[in-house]
Structure 1
Amino acid sequence: MNRLQKLIFSCCLVVVVAVSFVGILKEDEQRITRSKTSHINTIFGSPGKKVFEPVLPDRVVTLPKDFRFHPEYQHEWWQLVTKLTDEHGQTYWMRWRFFRYASDDRVKTGWEDPQIYISNVVLTSHLGMFTDQRIARGGVGQAGGVSRPFRVWIDDWSWRSLSNDPMPGNLKISTETFNVNLQFERNGQYAVIGENGYHIKHDLLPRASYAIEAPFIKSSGQISLPNGKSFKVTGNAWLSKEWGSELVGGNYVGEDNFIVRLSEKRVLMVSQYRYKDNMPFVSASVIDDDGHVTTIDNDAITLKALKFTEFNGGARVPLNWKISIPSHDIDLVIKAGKQVNWVNFVVPQWQGPVRTRGSHIVSGYIQLSGY
């Protein structure tokens, strides 16, 4: 083989290797996308042939009636995000969620009860991030909820009040690494999101839920950390409730949730829902402490990921974002405070506190899934 033939052979070999490598990368990317979509949908997929109450825009959310449980719908969850400060000036962020999901539409008792309960907690402190998660089936007393007086529980974790209103309430959580005993009292009005509580999650897909927000809550109590010390804490909290009958949808991939406290009387809530074969849909609301909600149209907000961080296992998560809403003089750059807050719950996600710069220099909290 002469020099020219060797050169031609080498060029052909490079082309073949390059084409094969690109094909492998593309196949691997498709496999990852399929696994993300199928993983979430395997757990919380479409109801299919199961018969649950549909989420429709003509249903008006009313309070305190809709603080009750809604077993006629497939899923329901409560969430508390609280920022706390101890007597030494140390800051703690805690996010707790209590989730109900019906595996089918039967009405059964005991071990045949189709209700599944999931509760998880994330505590971010100067000593690091601590997490825990509980999963239980309803019908046997291990987990459940009642409306009068309000109470939800799973094992020895509980949140209760003395009336059918969840506020004022008490949250107790005990884990192997930390304990929480907090009191919550509302400091502003409840707010219903969207059109009378009808919260749209895509303008072209049949995805929606009912949602209630209470961003103005006073919190106080005690936290015990792994160092054996207990601290009295005070701060503010944000309560959310949502229910519906199609949690993710067939081609759902993940979502990005932002809550930002613009001032003592005004907050911003932004959610981006991502789909495999459709454009992402952005939902945003500005909420005042009097319960007034201003819904931001999808085309009136710019949400852009600025920087991605790669974690062990290959997940690339955007921890820097830009949010712009010119009609409300909101122009924020959001930066995560910690880059290690990846949690492997039922749905793996990044979550934790953030700081902003731009039109408002304040704090907030984000949850990112599907990466």
Structure 2
Amino acid sequence: MKRKNRRVIGVFLVTIVTAGLVLFALYQPTSLTPTNQSASNEVSAAFVSKQTQVFEPVLPGNPVIIPRDFAFHNEYQHGWWHFFANVVDENGEQYGIQWTYFRIATHENDMPGWLSPQLYIANVVVSNKSQVWREQRVARGGIGQAGMSAMPFRLWIDNWHWRSLGRTPFPGQLDVGTDTFKVRVRATTRGPFVIPSERGYAIKHDLLPIASLNLTAPFLSIEGQLELSPHNVIEVKGKGWMSKEWGSGLIAEDQQGWDWFVFHLDDETTLSINRYRHESQLPYVFGTLSKNNGKVVSLQNQDIDISPLNDVLLTNGKRVPLSWSVKIPKLGVDIETQAANQDLWLPFVLPYWEGPITISGSHNSQGFMQLTGY
């Protein structure tokens, strides 16, 4: 065998082994994870940059631009698409739809083909008040199993697709089929895209240079079909949200996890709140209020009073705060949240709790909540 061929095969084997070790490190069975474990959890392990790796840093002065930044950014370590929707069928039954697409690089050198360091993880979840349907796909980059095209826009992993005819995801369609359920929904914008924080540059720590780049589509109209049992197609419609986040080292080493909330306060107003929890300091909190007339209000820690009301003991032994109080006096927001279905701890490669919520108080509506690191 020629020396060049041996070298290529050697690099290929190292890449495969590295990818396997990364997935093994990320995926630890829930039953083996102590319930009092804090910073050493699967999500923080995936999003903390290693000192031996040199990815592109996230710096201010590099504004997010639409539609350019709907594309992949492989020079950064992470990329994360997140879509969810609160929908209802013709009988008034409420459902939550969640679709997440992660890109995680195992090495800073973005090589082609079988040498690609990119790993892709996609999750789909459908839930109502009493049932949960969920599945995950994991793929490697460089061989066509997962990836993205920018024009027309398309994200895929195996036979799961989000696609549109233009350079943005909208109007677009999510088409996901599993052995037990299917999701096919169309999403159209009913308001503007939003570039939050400082032209998309979102700081996540008040002492360390931890930040990401972000863009959101907070005003989506959703309609389509759910097939949750064979030959039983359910027509649904409702409201949705999509966000894209990318960067390198998205959390600090002492971070326990984060709590993320999206509230559809009314037909014209969407509120997003992020709460990053740390071992040695108080949580770092920020948010964005978006109006479909284009008005955007950035919220800082001093603007937001958010606290858990009670913990729920899940069947896996974890205690997770599923009810919260949120007050923003300057916006007239004084609400409490409740999980529509408590059984939404998702034991994926990157495990977390996520699902639809109802809100009551100054506003009575719906939204979504994501809780990681518990």
TM-score (norm 2): 0.87
CA–CA distance in 1 between the matches of 2:50 and 2:39? 19
Give the Å deviation of 1:299: 1.4
Letter of the structure 2 residue corresponding to residue 266 of structure 1: T
Does residue 317 of structure 1 match 2:315?
Answer: no
Does residue 326 of structure 1 match 2:334?
Answer: no
Does residue 281 of structure 1 match 2:284?
Answer: yes
Give matches, 1:214-229, under 5 Å. Answer: 214-226=217-229, 228-229=231-232
Letter of the structure 1 residue corresponding to residue 247 of structure 2: G
Does residue 363 of structure 1 match 2:371?
Answer: no
Report the secondary structure of 1:119's partner residue.
Answer: strand
**Shift in alpha-carbon separation, 1:39–1:82, aligned structure 2, 3 A:** closer
CA deviations on 1:336-368 (whole Å, 9 max, x unpaired) are 122211110122221111111211111111011
CA–CA distance in 2 between the matches of 1:277 and 1:155? 42
Letter of the structure 2 residue corresponding to residue 284 of structure 1: G
**Shift in alpha-carbon separation, 1:42–1:364, aligned structure 2, 3 A:** closer
1:188 matched residue in structure 2:
191
- Aligned match for 1:337, one of 330, 337, 340: 340
- Aligned match for 1:107, one of 107, 110, 113: 110
| Unmatched tracts of structure 1, length 5 or more | 1-30
Residues 187 and 218 in structure 1, CA contact (< 8 A), matched pair in contact too: yes
1:307 matched residue in structure 2:
310
Residues 191 and 292 in structure 1, CA contact (< 8 A), matched pair in contact too: no
CA–CA distance in 1 between the matches of 2:39 and 2:178? 30
Give the Å deviation of 1:213: 1.1
RMSD of aligned residue pairs (Cα, Å): 1.7
- Of structures 1 and 2, the larger Rg is shown by 1
Residues 42 and 373 in structure 2, CA contact (< 8 A), matched pair in contact too: no
Give the Å deviation of 1:209: 0.5
Give the Å deviation of 1:154: 0.5
- Aligned match for 2:121, one of 118, 122, 140: 118
Letter of the structure 1 residue corresponding to residue 363 of structure 2: H
Query: Percent of aligned pairs with the same residue?
Result: 40
Letter of the structure 1 residue corresponding to residue 274 of structure 2: S
Report the secondary structure of 1:43's partner residue.
Answer: helix
CA–CA distance in 1 between the matches of 2:265 and 2:321? 22
Residues 308 and 319 in structure 1, CA contact (< 8 A), matched pair in contact too: yes
**Shift in alpha-carbon separation, 1:341–1:107, aligned structure 2, 3 A:** closer
Residues 182 and 221 in structure 1, CA contact (< 8 A), matched pair in contact too: yes
- Of the structure 1 ranges 254-263 and 312-321, higher mean CA displacement relative to structure 2 is found in 312-321
Residues 47 and 245 in structure 1, CA contact (< 8 A), matched pair in contact too: no
Letter of the structure 1 residue corresponding to residue 335 of structure 2: L
1:238 matched residue in structure 2:
241
Give matches, 1:48-67, under 5 Å. Answer: 48-67=51-70
Runs (4+) of structure 1 moved beyond 6 Å?
none
CA–CA distance in 2 between the matches of 1:78 and 1:91? 24
Residues 327 and 333 in structure 2, CA contact (< 8 A), matched pair in contact too: yes
Does residue 74 of structure 1 match 2:77?
Answer: yes
CA–CA distance in 1 between the matches of 2:329 and 2:191? 26
Give the Å deviation of 1:38: 4.8
1:22 matched residue in structure 2:
none
Residues 77 and 99 in structure 1, CA contact (< 8 A), matched pair in contact too: yes
CA–CA distance in 2 between the matches of 1:338 and 1:42? 28
CA–CA distance in 1 between the matches of 2:126 and 2:120? 20
Give the Å deviation of 1:147: 1.1
2:252 matched residue in structure 1:
249
Letter of the structure 2 residue corresponding to residue 314 of structure 1: G
TM-score (norm 1): 0.88
2:135 matched residue in structure 1:
132
CA–CA distance in 1 between the matches of 2:47 and 2:211? 15
Report the secondary structure of 1:192's partner residue.
Answer: coil
Letter of the structure 2 residue corresponding to residue 134 of structure 1: R
Give the Å deviation of 1:52: 1.6
CA–CA distance in 2 between the matches of 1:345 and 1:173? 17
| Unmatched tracts of structure 2, length 5 or more | 1-33
